[in-house]
Structure 1
Amino acid sequence: MSVRDKPCSQDACLQEVFGAPVAELYQAAGNGTCAALALALELRSFLAVVEEQIVRIRDRVHAVTGPTGEMDELSAQQLRDEAQLLEAFLSARDSYRAVLGDLLRAAPSHQLPARPTQVGDRAVTTTLPAGGAVPAPAPAGTPRAPSIRP
């Protein structure tokens, strides 16, 4: 299974910040339009793998120590090894979550770029005023003339 398809604890946060499901975010990241999105998805990929390993360790420990586990398979050394692995993966998970959370908080306004849509064959054209000069924008703080709308 591709890491893109693996569930991750931070998928809802990514969707909330970037405004699209994770599958669409991976497609948008392929376009290279948003560096923050690409980094967030890279961190998400690492986090998904780490979380999968945590689940595997948990399941192995439960299988050996559960009511149907073989007592002959249970060893203190095996449990110590699993505990060390679990500690390493939990530390990595916490680190990835922290970095991803910082990234998402630092870039709350990032939304996926709007997809170009074509409404029809209409084109808007304009011409420059006589002499080719374009008026300069008004200085900051200058009141605008009221616009008249039909």
Structure 2
Amino acid sequence: MSVQLKPSTLDGRLQESFSAPVAELYATATGPDASAALIRAIELRSFLAMAEEQVNRVRERVHDATAAGRDMDDLSADDLRMDAQWLEAALDARNGYRAALGDLLRTMPPPGQQPRPAPTAQPAVITPLPPAAPAPQRAGAARARRP
């Protein structure tokens, strides 16, 4: 299944922030007019969806291994320890992606409000000085040598 079709826990906030469904956001993010915020948000959303899928897979594996109807002889402490490590890693990734996407959505300008362009260096306007008054005839003249 494509990451675009996998649900994530922040899809509602993403749709609210960009005023469009997730599928439309993916299409817009690949276009030439996509904002940097949208591209980053879609990237983070993809990572989040994958991390949440990993959490679900490990959780289901643990549930299956510990189901009431299962034979206790099939239960392996080593397998459960490994699953616990995988679950911890997947939850850490999920929490990191949720935090990053939440921060991005919180700091974005409201929909419809264009960010102001960054100030650029303005060239200095140079005005010429008025012409200088003529120097006196002898000003700076060298003294004549005497023979």
Normalised by the size of structure 1, how large is the TM-score? 0.71
Q: Is the aligned partner of 1:68 residue 2:69?
A: yes
Residue identity in the other structure for 1:25? L
Matches within 5 A, 1:6-45: 6-32=6-32, 33-45=34-46
The structure-2 alpha-carbon separation of the partners of 1:108 and 1:74, relative to structure 1 and needing over 3 Å to count, comes to: farther
Matches within 5 A, 1:103-118: 103-110=104-111
Corresponding residue number in structure 1 for 2:92: 91
Question: For structure 1, which runs of at least 5 residues remain unmatched after alignment?
Answer: 114-150
**Kindly, what percent of the aligned residue pairs are identical?**
56
Structure 1 distance, partners of 2:42, 2:111, is: 13
Corresponding residue number in structure 1 for 2:57: 56
Q: Which is bigger in relative contact order (C-alpha 8 A, separation at least 6)?
A: 1
Does the 8 Å contact 1:18/1:110 carry over to 2?
yes
- Per-residue deviation at 1:98? 0.4
Size of the alignment, in residue pairs? 113
Does the 8 Å contact 1:17/1:108 carry over to 2?
no
Corresponding residue number in structure 1 for 2:141: none
Does the 8 Å contact 1:64/1:70 carry over to 2?
no
Alignment root-mean-square deviation, CA? 1.7
Alignment deviations for residues 89-123 of structure 1 (CA, whole Å, 9 cap, x no partner): 10010000000000000104245x9xxxxxxxxxx
Structure 1 distance, partners of 2:7, 2:77, is: 32
Corresponding residue number in structure 2 for 1:144: none
Corresponding residue number in structure 1 for 2:3: 3
Q: Which has the larger radius of gyration?
A: 2
Alignment deviations for residues 116-149 of structure 1 (CA, whole Å, 9 cap, x no partner): xxxxxxxxxxxxxxxxxxxxxxxxxxxxxxxxxx
12-21 vs 70-79, greater mean Cα deviation: 70-79
- Per-residue deviation at 1:20? 0.5
